[in-house]
Structure 1
Amino acid sequence: MSTVSSPPRLLEAQVLTDAAQLQRLVPEWEELWRADPRATPFQSPRWLLPWWRHIGRGALLTLAWRDAQGALAGLAPLYVWPDADGRRQLFPLGIATTDYLDVLARPGSEEVVARDLFARLHDLHERWDVLHFPQQRAGSPLLAAAAAHPRAHVLAGEPNPVLALDAPGRIPRSTLANLRTCRNRAAGIGSLSFATANAQEIPACLDALQRLHAQRWTQRGEPGVLAGTAVRAAHSESAPLLHAAGLLRLHVLRLAGETVAVLHALADAPQRAARSHYYYISGFDPGHAFFSPGSLLLAHAIEQAQGEGAVAFDFLRGAEPYKYRWGAADRPMFTLRLASR
């Protein structure tokens, strides 16, 4: 661990450049993540460290801030990846397969951490060429700090359609009618049962998710996002960790005992106020498409989120039409870009 040489600031910044340093930070990282009211499960070490071990490539260039008492006050998990043109791209851990990629900060330290990030990156400019930081929400302290930086650019990103659960009548009547039709069709061929995987059932459910997801995408002539061994390994490692913290929801739909759909969702920490559930990925058996098992399981996941007191069901990035049929409304998202020189 090396300290960056720069003028004194309110927080001490350190640079983490190898996985062992990042691993040793996990207890403090977890505590910081729980303290940040804006943090989502995607910023947890339970999600990002498996991602880095199995999917990430390049060199870590993570910044950590400590307060005067030595407590971790901020964290920006970054890494450098050289692209095909030789440009050294500076990315957040989790990019491409992760949503809500923001820095972590303790309440009261958000603006200091965000401003100091730009200063520290200037100090480190010889190690990277272009920062690409997608999945930023409106009101992010990082975007506010970028407004004062001459080389920073904030671009519109893919919106996140979000279904509000704290108001009645949010799901359109046409969708509810379609669900009734699907249930009636399924009842004609067998009994339906819904379940949420426990710790022992996680490996089998992940295998079923991968198989069902692949079946659907094979019909389109594409492998699907779970086809890579690295992606599957990352989920196999992260899922039990997320489950142990109360963050994982692996919903399963069975028809006459046969698994016909699996939905992978995440949830905010149990102690978090105004919690959201996040629809990450799903798979269903295309042979049963006539009664739409994916829609039935999604309805179950939304009901479960409501039952747990969640205020929002977040469909995550992408403006696919089916999300709006459930009554979701766009949450604007942004991408921060910055050149080192």
Structure 2
Amino acid sequence: MTTCSTGVPLGSRELAVTLCRDPRQFAALEEPWNRLLKRCPTATPFQSHAWVHSWWLSYGREGRLRILLVRRAGELVGVAALMLVHRPLPLLVPLGGSITDYFDVLVDERYAAEVVPALARGLHQAARGAVVDLREVRPGAAVEALAEAWPGSVDTLADSACAEFPVVPFDELVKRMPSAGAQRTRAKVRKIDALGIEEHRVSEHEVPETVRTLLRLHEKQWRGRGVTPEHLRPRFAEHLTRATRRMVRAGDARLTEFRLDGQVVAATVTLMSPGLSGGYLYGADPDLRTRKVDVATMLLRHEARHAQAEGRGVLSLLRGSEPYKNHWRPETVVNRRFLLARASHSPLLRLHGSQVTGRERAVSARREALPAARDWRNRINEWRADGARR
């Protein structure tokens, strides 16, 4: 079995299966990784080398990298990008963390029947005493086949809900709304067009400046209304700039400025794979409200136009069930969480699973038991919806 000096060989006679722990080897995998990405129909933009490697540079911890690599005649045909954590139990978790909306393993569709069992065996050996905790797995992902081939214990839980739309002309999306809502939306579109808001597709070299502008506008629009703290941290800005620049270069991301009278009043980053186009993050000047610009309508029209023109399979608003999304009557798609352990009937798996469900139940119980907390949650959702609509 062939392997490389920086990998740990794992058992497979037909394929070379290695465990990469070396960040330098990880960095050098960009070209074969991206070739594999194109041969994996279930992959989302969050499995691109640009995204996961940039995330590792900003968030990774020394000695924790665990990337399972499967090669066939020297060609990369399978990847599971993970890291080791202790929370407090030892876990193997996906690279990408909480700022990543979808996880999947990469499997070359030409050799799936060979690669999936090899990934399962290699990961089973690499897990040692850890539970493999794979969050935010989109329905239909290759992880589902991996779980079926897993030789140990498997448990599944519901994870985040995502809003998705078919890739159709924007007017078809408007028709999904009640007639009164559709009429209001068409009036909002006429208002946007009458103001002369222009779209500018940002080049690779313009990415750093536009990301700074996007994050500044994002902070401004959510100021005092529960902004996600991570979006304000320097490490997130570094990651988003680095990843977006590489993905724009590769055609896996689109960064767009919306300009009014020569000034950037909104910006959005869209991440793309052949099967999916997802609006990841946007920022908008709150002054647009005074001009009665519906930012959600402007952005959804933008995303729908480009997803159709580029032939994407699905238009996703990614995770979250904010009220403004529901006005468009999207399909709600629930991600799943896969918990894998080496031993059958693993007590470690049961313990971790009970901790996960216990935390979720505790959060739900607090929300239901405390009317004040529930009221504040509703107010925050209403503020967010209002900010997105205006």
**Does the alignment pair 1:137 with 2:138?**
yes
Q: Please report how far the alpha carbon of residue 238 of structure 1 lies from its aligned counterpart in structure 2 after TM superposition.
A: 1.3
Superposition deviation, residue 306 in structure 1: 2.0
Q: Residues of 2 paired with 1:9 and 1:176: CA distance?
A: 59
State the shift of 1:242 in Å. 0.7
1:27-65 deviations in whole A, cap 9, x for unaligned?
211111112122222111111111110122351111101
Relative to structure 1, is the Cα distance of residues 159 and 187 closer, same or farther in structure 2, using a 3 angstrom cutoff?
A: closer
Find the counterpart in structure 2 of residue 118 from structure 1: 120
Which residue does the alignment assign to 1:197?
Answer: 202
Q: Could you give the per-residue CA deviations for residues 57-91 of structure 1, whole angstroms, max 9, x where no partner exists? A: 35111110111x221111111111223x3x22211
The 2-side partners of 1:73 and 1:79 are apart by: 20
Which of residues 157, 161, 180 is equivalent to 1:155?
157
Q: State the one-letter code of the partner of 2:207.
A: I
Partner of 2:282: 282
1:38-53 matches, within 5 Å, as: 38-53=42-57
Tell me the SS of whatever aligns to 1:121.
Answer: helix
Secondary structure of 2:32 counterpart: helix
Q: TM-score, normalised on structure 1?
A: 0.87
Is 1:28 equivalent to 2:29 in the alignment? no
* 1:39–1:291 distance in 2 versus 1, CA, 3 Å: same
Report the counterpart of residue 386 of structure 2 in structure 1: none
CA displacement 1:203-244 (0-9 Å, x = unmatched): 222111101111122221445442111111011111121111
The match for 2:310 is 308
Counterpart residue number, 2:362: none
Instruction: Answer with 137-146 or 98-107: which moved more.
Output: 137-146
> Which structure has the highest helix share of the two?
2
Asked whether the equivalents of residues 165 and 311 of structure 1 are also in contact (C-alpha less than 8 Å), the reply is yes
Q: Secondary structure at the match of 2:173?
A: coil
Q: Secondary structure at the match of 1:291?
A: coil
**CA pair 199-119 structure 1, distance change in 2 beyond 3 A:** closer
Report the Cα distance in structure 2 between the residues aligned to 1:317 and 1:175, rounded to whole angstroms.
24
Q: Is the 8 A contact 1:214 1:223 kept in 2?
A: no
Q: 1:284 to 1:24 in 2, by over 3 A?
A: same
Residue identity matched to 2:105: V
Query: Alpha carbons of 1:294 and 1:162: their partners in 2 closer, same or farther (altered >3 Å)?
Result: closer
Q: Which residue of 2 aligns with 1:180?
A: 186
TM-score w.r.t. structure 2 length?
0.77
Does the residue aligned with 1:232 lie in a helix, a strand or coil? Answer: helix
Partner of 1:253: 258
- Give aligned-pair identity as a percent: 27
Q: Distance in 1 between matches of 2:134 and 2:263?
A: 42
Deviation at 1:92, TM superposition (A): 1.2
- Is the 2:59–2:235 contact (alpha carbons within 8 Å) kept by the matching residues of 1? yes
Contact kept, 8 Å, 1:57 with 1:81, in 2: the verdict is: no
Q: Which amino acid aligns with 1:286?
A: P
- Tell me which of 8, 13, 17 is aligned to 2:17: 13
Amino acid at match of 2:197: L
Q: Report SS of the residue matched to 2:231.
A: coil
The number of equivalent residue pairs is 330
CA distance in structure 2 between the partners assigned to 1:221 and 1:41 by the alignment = 27
Q: Deviations over 1:133-192 (max 9, x none)?
A: 11223333432342464421121222322110247723334554333333455578x532
- In structure 2, relative to structure 1, the CA distance for the partners of 1:5 and 1:298 (3 Å cut) is closer
Greater Cα offset, 247-256 or 173-182: 173-182
Q: 1:288 to 1:114 in 2, by over 3 A?
A: same
Please say if residues 10 and 17 of structure 2, whose CA atoms lie closer than 8 Å, have aligned partners that are also in contact.
no
Distance 1:10-1:39 versus aligned 2 partners, 3 A rule: same
* Alignment correspondent of 1:327: 329
Matched, 1:107 2:109: yes
Work out the CA distance in 1 between the residues paired with 2:227 and 2:281.
16
